[in-house]
Structure 1
Amino acid sequence: MTYATIEQVAARLGRPITDPLEIDQVNAWLSDIEAAIRAGFRRAGFDLAAQVSAGEPIGDEVASVEASAAVRRIQNPTPGRTSRTESIDDGSVTDRWESSSDPWAITDTEWELLLPSAAPGAFSVRPSFQPDRGCHDYW
């Protein structure tokens, strides 16, 4: 079971999700999104469930990211597509958005919200000096 629910996705989407096929699809997408988040945590050296149990991040934050990613997928079901144009008579409306080729792309801001603040990174510094006891035995 995912942290996000159909109701949370519907609230962010601004409409109810009642069609059984759409419910199944959104639930599948939520599972896929959570799998991507779990994989990101593993790459950072953490376990998502253990971190949520420890309160960093809290489950509501994970649910928010999952629901937001699902809404992005609903609004742009074709990854890589960056615009949509609808024409009626002499007028047309074009919607443009940023897109990634990754259908489950979690934004950098969302990763900052999710990953523990002590996550190891390329520029992190962790003092771990242990003096070599053998070289000072003559003192």
Structure 2
Amino acid sequence: MQKDVILFDGVCNFCNASINFVIDHDKSRRFCFASLQSDYGQAILREYQRSVQDFDTVLLVREGKLYEKSTAVLEIARHLAGWRWLYLFRFLPTSIRDFVYGLIARNRYSLFGKADACRIPTKEERALFLG
């Protein structure tokens, strides 16, 4: 199975906690990860013609398709043990879901803090990270 790639803001404490959550609940090891600031993340941003300086959304790359914001979150959740039920929110209009997502994204540093550097994966997690 080809792994789905989750791209995230590597200096955001909330984003790092979210990645830890995904790792803990991804029992099938479907996902691998890269920070948006990494060489790999920057290459993906360029490939999909996204800003290489805008890190305010999580991105999911699956089979050549790019998902972002609330849609990425729901696509990720649908594969996490105990959290698949969240996928039911896909029936809400994207504009509403992305509005809520945007509120959190815009305030994530003030609410959760910012690290000085990207997260360093543990020895066991290292194989899950790209770039």
**Normalised TM-score (structure 2):** 0.28
For CA contacts below 8 A with separation 6 or more, give which structure has more relative contact order. Answer: 2
Instruction: Give 1 or 2 for the bigger CA radius of gyration.
Output: 1
Q: Which has the higher strand share?
A: 2
